[in-house]
């Protein structure tokens, strides 16, 4: 097996109540730390570890007019129709969460009210250790960061906090909304002794089939969260329906917890199931008892099942050490979980004809996606405006993906030569813009497909790691980077040095 393969697990049913739809909620867990640790666990909103008295707000919609709008309902995966709803439609209304003790907070998950009508579309975050002195989460430029919120009332939206903040109190300030400021949320960060691996932001959940979503009932694969009252529901009443978790980087799995559906008047659950796992989705292994030579294990459902032996989803050719994600994965920030690098080893293109010459070896475009984080100039892709006004670099992701953002590892002056001087690079480059397109090798890129732009303000474009987060996921196959030089500068030449481009 190669490290480029991913770890996946699949649960298949072997028995079910006659005449009932297949329903399933499960969590894979590890009693030992995951192979690749990260500070990204849920901090207690959905689980109830954060109690109702630890949640407060600037205002709340009167319960006499809507009983589902109390701030105690501001928890991810609350039943549809329940959420915190501000008492006023005014920008700046806030929800405050007391974590009890200080925590490192690395991200936030938000949902709307789940009624198809109400959600928050943008917000800011502030944090404090004592609830008296407050600071805002800031962006590249040192300004208050505006986070993009949800696009519907039900789908969870994840945002990174880069760099992470240390705080006991977190406030979410609603800035814009659809119909009414209403939300459910979970805060992500460090939490000891909870190593749930099937509900992280890097996990992709798919299924053999599922029922369509409606306002009262949710049966999509992403609903298969243990702390949710909802469930995955197979569309067909047949055996061999399955739900699959793509865990991304390798993990050791030591058990599984399941429960039935909780948002229906009828009692729905899976009676028993089998478990299979794979590193490449081609070859699947069925988990077997004791010495792994016995017959496959059929697990009773709605229980906590510990495996007799760990399923070690590791790669033979590569043994990762603490904190290393491997070639195909990376961390958006040091404390966040490993996510797949969609750009790794992708085909590249530059709009400068010199890069198409067979003898051109200086700063080749492919060096930006070779998997190396070496920032020495000979290991980086180099573009300039010697032959074109605005140099453009492109990578082919191979298939259409929902691109959420990218991280650019930049040059910090190591290994400079007479052809590319760090001084000229810093002084000449004004901004770098990222786009996600459906077509390759475009000379004109649509501004409607822009993911984001970072400028030289406060030297943001020259940070060691530049994080560009798309306001909303953009579906496309080709990621473009376009550089623009400083206007009205006597020395018009500028360079773009891309040591590594990581797309997620």
Q: What is the pLDDT of residues 131-165, one digit of tens each?
A: 999 999 999 999 999 999 999 999 999 999 999 99
Domain end (from 147, 171, 189): 189
- DSSP sequence for 417-439: -SSS-HHHHHHHEEEEEEEEESS
Query: Residue 51: which residues within 8 A CB-CB, separation 6 or more?
Result: none
Domain end (from 189, 219, 251): 189
Same domain, 346 and 466: yes
Q: Output the pLDDT for position 50.
A: 92
**Phi/psi of residue 414, nearest 5 degrees:** -75, 130
Same domain, 202 and 160: no
Same domain, 485 and 345: yes
Establish if 391 belongs to a structural domain.
yes
Q: Output the pLDDT for position 320.
A: 30
Q: Are 481 and 452 in contact (CB under 8 A)?
A: no
State the total domains in the chain.
Answer: 3
Same domain, 391 and 451: yes
Same domain, 158 and 200: no
Domain span at residue 289? Answer: 7-37+196-312
Same domain, 468 and 491: yes
Establish if 318 belongs to a structural domain.
no
- DSSP sequence for 425-478: HHHHEEEEEEEEESSSS-SS--GGGEEEEEESGGGGGGSSEEEEEEEEEEEEEE
Same domain, 47 and 29: no
Tell me the CATH number at 149: 2.60.120.260
Same domain, 63 and 85: yes
Low-confidence ranges of the chain (pLDDT < 70): 1-37, 191-195, 200-201, 214-217, 254, 289-324
Q: Output the pLDDT for position 250.
A: 77
Same domain, 135 and 208: no
| Gap between the Cα atoms of 123 and 296, Å rounded | 49
Establish if 233 belongs to a structural domain.
yes
Q: Output the pLDDT for position 324.
A: 65
| Gap between the Cα atoms of 63 and 85, Å rounded | 10
Establish if 319 belongs to a structural domain.
no
Q: Output the pLDDT for position 35.
A: 39
Establish if 2 belongs to a structural domain.
no
Preceding peptide of 163 cis, ω within 30°:
yes
Same domain, 128 and 200: no
Same domain, 360 and 471: yes
Establish if 320 belongs to a structural domain.
no
Q: Output the pLDDT for position 203.
A: 81
**Phi/psi of residue 180, nearest 5 degrees:** -155, 145
| Gap between the Cα atoms of 267 and 362, Å rounded | 66
CA-CA distances (angstroms) from residue 115 to 66, 77, 95, 205, 215?
12, 13, 20, 23, 6
Q: Are 46 and 74 in contact (CB under 8 A)?
A: no
Q: Which of 477, 343, 473, 348 is nearest to 409 (CA)?
A: 343
Establish if 154 belongs to a structural domain.
yes
Domain end (from 189, 210, 229): 189
Establish if 1 belongs to a structural domain.
no
Query: Residue 488: which residues within 8 A CB-CB, separation 6 or more?
Result: none
Q: Are 272 and 17 in contact (CB under 8 A)?
A: no
DSSP class of residue 316 equals: T
Q: Output the pLDDT for position 2.
A: 39
Whole-structure pTM value = 0.70
Same domain, 235 and 205: yes
């Amino acid at each position: 097996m190669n490290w480029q393969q991913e770890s996946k697990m699949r649960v298949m049913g072997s028995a079910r109540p006659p005449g009932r739809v297949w329903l399933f909620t499960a969590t894979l867990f590890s009693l030992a730390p995951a192979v690749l640790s990260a500070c990204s666990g849920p901090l207690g909103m959905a689980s109830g570890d954060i109690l109702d008295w630890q949640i407060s707000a600037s205002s709340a919609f009167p319960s006499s007019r809507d009983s589902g709008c109390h701030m105690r309902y501001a928890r991810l995966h609350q039943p549809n129709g329940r959420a915190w709803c501000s008492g006023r439609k005014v920008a700046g209304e806030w929800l405050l969460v007391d974590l009890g003790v200080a925590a490192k907070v690395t991200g936030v998950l938000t949902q709307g009210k789940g009624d198809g009508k109400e959600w928050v579309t943008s917000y800011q975050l502030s944090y404090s250790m004592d609830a008296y002195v407050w600071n805002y989460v800031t962006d590249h430029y040192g300004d208050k960061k505006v986070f993009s919120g949800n696009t519907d009332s039900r789908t969870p939206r994840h945002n990174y906090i880069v760099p992470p903040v240390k705080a006991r109190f977190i406030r979410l300030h609603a800035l814009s909304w659809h119909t009414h400021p209403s939300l459910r949320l979970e805060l992500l960060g460090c939490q000891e002794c909870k190593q749930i691996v099937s509900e992280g932001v890097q996990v992709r959940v798919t299924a053999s089939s599922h029922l369509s979503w409606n306002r009262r009932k949710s049966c999509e694969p992403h609903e298969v969260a243990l702390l949710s009252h909802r469930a995955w529901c197979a569309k067909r009443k047949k055996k061999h329906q399955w739900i699959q978790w793509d865990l991304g980087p390798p993990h050791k799995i030591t058990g599984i917890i399941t429960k039935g559906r909780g948002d229906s008047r009828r009692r729905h659950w899976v009676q028993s199931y089998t478990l299979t796992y794979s590193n490449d989705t081609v070859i699947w292994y069925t988990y077997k008892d004791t010495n792994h030579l016995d017959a496959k294990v059929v697990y009773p459902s709605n229980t906590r099942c510990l495996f007799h032996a760990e399923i070690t989803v590791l790669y033979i050719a590569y043994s990762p050490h603490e904190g290393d994600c491997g070639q195909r994965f990376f961390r958006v920030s040091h404390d966040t979980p490993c996510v797949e690098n969609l750009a790794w080893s992708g085909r590249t293109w530059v709009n400068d004809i010199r890069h198409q010459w067979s003898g051109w070896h200086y700063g080749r475009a492919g060096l930006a996606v070779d998997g190396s984080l070496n920032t020495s100039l000979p290991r980086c892709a180099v573009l300039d405006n010697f032959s074109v006004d605005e140099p453009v670099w492109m990578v082919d992701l191979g298939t259409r993906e929902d691109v959420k953002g990218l991280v650019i590892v930049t040059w910090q002056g190591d290994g400079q030569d007479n052809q590319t001087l760090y001084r000229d690079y810093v002084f000449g480059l004004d901004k770098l813009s990222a786009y996600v397109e459906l077509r390759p090798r475009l000379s004109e890129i649509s501004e409607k497909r822009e993911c984001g732009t970072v400028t030289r303000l406060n030297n943001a474009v020259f940070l060691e790691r530049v994080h560009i987060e798309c306001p909303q996921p953009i579906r496309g196959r080709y990621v473009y980077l376009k550089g623009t030089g400083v206007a009205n500068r006597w020395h018009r030449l500028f360079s773009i040095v891309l040591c590594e481009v990581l797309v997620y």
